[in-house]
Amino acid sequence: MAEATRLTGRQVAWVIDLNRCIGCQTCSVACKVLWTQGEGEEPMWWCTVNTKPGLGTPRDWESMGGGYQNGELALGRLPTAEEFGEVWKFNHDEVYASGKGSEAFLHPVGAPPTWGMNWDEDIGAGGYPNAHFFYLPRLCNHCSQPACLEACPNGALYKRTEDGLVLRDEDRCKGEQTCSRACPYKKIYFNAARKVSQHCIGCFPRLEKGVAPACVRQCPGRAVFFGFLYDPKATVHRLVHEWKVALPLHAEWGTEPNVFYIPPLSTPWIREDGSVDESRRRLPTEYLESLFGPRVRDALRTLESEISKRREGNPSELMETLIAYDWKEMLGPFTRDPAELTWS
């Protein structure tokens, strides 16, 4: 089915510039408010932003397995609700009106939470003053080789030819969660109330009306480019295939993700005496390589050399593109203002 979307050229792709992502969770919250406030959806965050290095959500998802090994589908482990981070109930009423006064303070009631969607926020790694981290937003990769789809015993998952989104027929889904085990990114949630799995739908109802996905259109960091990956004029295409500065996450898992990342540059290393070592990055390149593969080195070199061009007053087409003077340029052909829509 990957072939089908390739032929139509209509695979949508996200390119997320990690030098622009500020970890604010606006994408996560926008997505949550739009799609996952229904019954059983309370613990779901189809889009999340986590601090890397870090364990993220579900906790330590990178070690859970899934995807393809030597071309073969490999089912991994099913993450638990606790590993995703559960819904916390708070004692608002007890604090406000129980007559206990300051004896009662606001906190999650019941067993103290042990994890959440953003539990290890801003911890990162390294030692002061060379501590380092960056933010990694994650959503369904709408893969071109979706392991979830292949794994589903009920044929509930399908890849649309219109846009290459991997969607789920929720009436066919029997909630067996094989898809979750197969997805190496662990971006599939289980609706315990409705007994079906759910995941990012790529905001397809918006796309169909010419409106960019919420995580794209609502990103205040202007970190996300969106568009058709195989359209040679598309910014996402050029960033991925021409400049090669945008890379998939864990390509080695074999699912051919359609979310790509422009790797983070790093502030330089500070030596013990407080002087700056220009030649050494605080954020180890080896670590980035473990996420984005060996091509990350070239991508970083390209970014750095293009920035230097601008610094020396020379033009850089790449930097012009990344600046995105006109924000709408980031949205590909999905530039419509949703407020202008009318429903018949």
Partner 1 sequence: MEEETQVVVRSYEEARTRASGPASEDRYRERWRWDKVVWGTHCVDCYPGNCPMRVYVRDGKVVREEQSGDFPRIEAGVPDMNPLGCQKGVCWGQHLEAPDRVLHPLRRVGERGEGRWERVSWEEAIDEIADSMLDAIEESGSESIVQLMGPEANPWNAVGLARLITRVGGLNTDVNAEINDFSPGIYLTFGKFNLCSSLDDTFHSELILTFGANPVYTVIASYHYQVEARYNGAESVIFAPDCSPSTMLVDRHLPVRPGTDAAWALAMCKVIIDEGLVNERFVKEQTDLPLLVRTDTRRYLRACDLETGASEEQFFVYDQRSGRVVEAPRGTLELGAADPALGGEYEVTLADGSRVTVTPVFELVREHLEQYAPERAAEICGVHPEEIRKLARKVAAKRTYVWAGGTSLKYYHADQMVRSVILLLGLTGNWGKKGAGIGCWSIGMFDGMMLLGQKQQKGPEETRRFLSGRDAVIDAIKAEDPTRTEEICRIEMTRRMAGLAGMIPPAFLWYRHAGYRENWNRADWSDPTMPRPFDEYMREAVEKGWWGDVAWPAEGQPPRVIFQAGGNTLRRTRGGQNMLLRQLWPNARTVVTIDWRMSTTALQSDFVLPATNAYEAPRFHIPSPHMLTLIYSDRATEPAGEAKSEWEMTLLLAKALGRKASERGIEECQSGRGSVHSLKDLYQQFTLGEEMITEEDACEEMLQDTVIAGTIPEGTDLAAMRERGYLRFIDWGVSPFAINQASDLKPDETHAHSRWHTENKLPYPTLTRRAQFYIEHEWFLEAGEALPTHKENPKMGGDHPFVMTSGHNRWSVHSMNTTNPLLLHTHRGRPHAVIHAGDAAKKGIRDGDEVRVFNDMGEFFVPAKVTPNAQPGQVIVYNGWEPYMFRGWRGPMDIEPGMVKWLHLAGGYGHLHYWAFQWQPTPVDRAVRIDIERAK
Q: Say whether residue 279 binds partner 1 (CB under 8 A).
A: no
Provide the minimum distance between the beta carbon of 180 and partner 1 in the complex, in angstroms, as a whole number: 18
Dihedral sign computed on CA atoms, order 327, 328, 330, 331: positive
- Nearer to partner 1 by Cβ, of 118 and 180: the residue is 118
Q: Which residues of 175-190 are buried (b: 16+ CB within 10 A; e: fewer)?
A: ebbbbbbbbbbbbbbb
Choose, by CB under 8 A, the member of 7, 33, 110, 252 that binds partner 1. 33
Provide the minimum distance between the beta carbon of 70 and partner 1 in the complex, in angstroms, as a whole number: 33
Residues 223-262 that bind partner 1 (CB under 8 A): none
Q: Say whether residue 340 binds partner 1 (CB under 8 A).
A: yes
Please, how many CA atoms are within 13 Å of residue 344, restricted to the half-sphere of its CB? 0
Q: Say whether residue 310 binds partner 1 (CB under 8 A).
A: yes
- Nearer to partner 1 by Cβ, of 162 and 252: the residue is 162
The two structure tokens encoding residue 111? 């067993």
Stretch that binds partner 1, among 58-66, 184-192, 250-258, 265-273 (CB under 8 A): 265-273
Please, how many CA atoms are within 13 Å of residue 110, restricted to the half-sphere of its CB? 7
* Residue 151 vs residues 183, 230, 259: alpha-carbon distances, Å: 9, 26, 21
Number of residues that bind partner 1 (CB under 8 A): 113
Q: How many CB atoms lie within 10 A of CB 171?
A: 8
Stretch that binds partner 1, among 71-79, 237-245, 289-297, 336-344 (CB under 8 A): 336-344
- For residue 320, report the phi and psi dihedrals to the nearest 5 degrees: -55, -45
Residues 97-126 that bind partner 1 (CB under 8 A): 97-108, 113, 116-119, 121-126
Stretch that binds partner 1, among 60-68, 175-183, 254-262, 274-282 (CB under 8 A): 274-282
* Residue 9 vs residues 12, 149, 161: alpha-carbon distances, Å: 9, 20, 9
Residues 134-193 that bind partner 1 (CB under 8 A): 134-135, 158, 160-162, 167-172
